[in-house]
Amino acid sequence: MTKRPIAVTIIACVVIGAGFAGLAYHFPEFTTRNARQYDVIGVALVRLAAIVAGAFMLRGRNWARWLAMAWIAFHVVIGAMNSASQLLVHCLVFALFAFFLMRPSANAFFGGKGTETG
């Protein structure tokens, strides 16, 4: 198995941290009853997707790399609906993810022999 690039480790940890931080931030919404209570389920699923993507990226799973890319692409769309500054920041983060997660060293790590089966 190819050694994990440091950029993959950093991105995976950032994604995991963002997932946990998002869950903690939205935790009070889980206990309140309002018209948007079902939106919390979607928010929780997006945060859990981040945690799963980061955890399995650390294990070298290629599908997790693509889940992380989809996760940040989703945030680009959300940012576009909010403000130009959020769109710009999320586009920059997306570009950084793409640059580091699609490099030859990352490709070797995620596509290396034995990464999908153990």
Q: How far apart are CA 30 and CA 55, in angstroms?
A: 24
Tens digit of pLDDT for each residue in 40-85?
888 889 999 999 999 999 999 999 999 999 999 999 999 999 999 9
Q: What angle do CA 75, 77, 81 make, to 5 degrees?
A: 110
- What is the total residue count of the chain? 118
What is this structure's pTM? Answer: 0.85
Ordered by start, the domain boundaries in the chain are 6-111
